[in-house]
Amino acid sequence: MLDESLEGKLIELDMGQGGKKMDLLIKFIADRIKIKRVTSQGLGVESFDDGAIIPLENKKVDLVVTTDSYTVTPIFFKGGNIGTLAACGTINDLLMMGAKPIAITLALIIREGIKFGILGEIIDTIVDITTRYEIAIVAGDTKVMPMGSMYQTEILVNTTGLGIIPEGQRITDSSVQPEDIIITSGTLGDHGFAMLVSREGTELESNLHSDVAPLTELILPITKYRVHAAKDPTRGGLTAVLNEWAEKSKVSIWIDEDVIPILEEVKIISEVFGIDPLNVSCEGKAIIAVHPEDAEKVLKILKSHELGRNAAIIGRAKRERAGKVLLRTRIGGHRILDKPVGEPIPRVC
């Protein structure tokens, strides 16, 4: 049913930053779409997952399609640039559904006046990453906009990714099972806080870099195990991911504050700005829900790779209190982790 109560209201900036407000905007759009999936066996808009799954007729594989737009400010930052985010974000969204990435499209909206050298560096970054993993850039589009028409940025990037899932290896948000073990592939909050420090021009000295990275070498080796859900904690961070899983899978998720890996530098910056790192985006980490019998095997694989050296088991899914995410605090109590209203640090992806 269409929500007519929203018709006369204005769209707010933080409706594009993850969390509850963005859920409202996405639902408003999705409710207007009549055909939401290609086949009854597929997965489409109605799932609000990282991408769509399209079964290929008479084939033992599924096609996965994902798309994303990047509006990050600044376009260059410690650890990468908007091209790094576009390539890695698209690759990682495919991986989180169990797919092997095979191709992307590349669309650019460029403000007049940007130097060719800057554009070239962004394109070269995308090409370097896709070439390393043998991913083709198969189509695209380019527009140039007049000066003054693009506020606070020089370039916007849109990418659509295509991937293939072997039969029986689908990974979806709604598949978390009671007793599943929850694992993070590394420290949380790195990207968002790195962007905050570089953007604000603060006197706080920091060598914190964005964690942006393609997770191909981490995720593909663990898909042979019983990984029931996987998600890169971008907008809204860990808290948003776990709340989406709890709601869609009808389980509760219990995590332990003491074992969540967070860099000391991130803890300091979070205290300075009063922002909970569990709500802040990462661009090179994965949150994984795995069958308890496979958890230690998956953890060992993650920790064997440089990108997963700080991987840790942080909690478990349960039946009781379905739909809730609960944090066991350092003093032994519990508090509910509600889904954030929005990403506390805007324009980081």
- What is the CB neighbour count within 10 angstroms for residue 289? 29
Alpha helices in the chain (DSSP H): 19-30, 82-95, 116-132, 190-200, 216-219, 237-249, 264-273, 295-303
Residue 179 sits in the same domain as residue 45: no
| Contact indicator for 94, 163 with CB cutoff of 8 Å | yes
Same domain, yes or no, for 236 and 324?
A: yes
Residue 99 resides in a domain: yes
215 and 258 part of one domain: yes
Q: Cα separation of 273 and 196, whole Å?
A: 10
Which pLDDT score is estimated for 349? 77
Calculate the CA dihedral of residues 285, 286, 287, 293 and round it to 10 degrees: -130
Query: Of 166, 196, 227, which closes a domain?
Result: 166
Residue 167's pLDDT is: 83
The counts of H helices and E strands in the chain are: 8, 14
Nearest to 158 by CA among 180, 177, 137, 135: 137
**What is d(CA 41, CA 17) in angstroms, rounded to the nearest whole number?**
31
Domain of 100? Answer: 10-166
Please tell me the total count of domains within the chain: 2
State whether 213 and 319 are in the same domain.
Answer: yes
Please check whether residue 184 is in contact with residue 312, taking contact to mean a CB–CB distance below 8 angstroms.
yes
| Domain containing residue 275: CATH number | 3.90.650.10
Structure tokens at 82: 């908007």
- pLDDT lower than 50: segments of the chain: 1
Query: Do 203 and 130 belong to one domain?
Result: no
Q: Tell me which of 137, 166, 195 is where a domain ends.
A: 166
Which of 131, 166, 201 terminates a domain? The answer is 166
Burial group, residue 58, by CB count within 10 angstroms (0-12, 13-18, 19+): exposed
The Cα-based distances of 124 to 73, 87, 120 in angstroms read: 19, 11, 6
CATH code of the domain containing 19: 3.30.1330.10
Distance CA 265, CA 179 (A): 33
Contact 151/264 with Cβ under 8 angstroms?
Answer: no
221 prior amide bond cis, ω within 30 = no
**pLDDT at 203 (0 to 100):** 52
Residue 42, SS3?
coil
Q: Are 173 and 192 in contact (CB under 8 A)?
A: no
> Does any domain span residue 40?
yes
Q: Are strands 52-55 and 61-70 parallel, antiparallel or unpaired?
A: antiparallel
Q: DSSP states of 194-240 as a string?
A: HHHHHHHT-S------------HHHHGGGTTS-EEEEE---TTHHHH
C-alpha pair distances (Å), 294 with each of 76, 87, 223, 226, 228: 39, 30, 11, 7, 11
With 0-12 / 13-18 / 19 or more C-beta atoms within 10 angstroms meaning exposed / middle / buried, residue 187 is buried
Do 99 and 248 fall into the same domain? no
Rg (CA), the chain: 20
Give the C-alpha separation, 312 to 187, whole Å.
9
CA distance linking residue 174 with residue 97, whole number of Å: 11
pLDDT of amino acid 183: 98
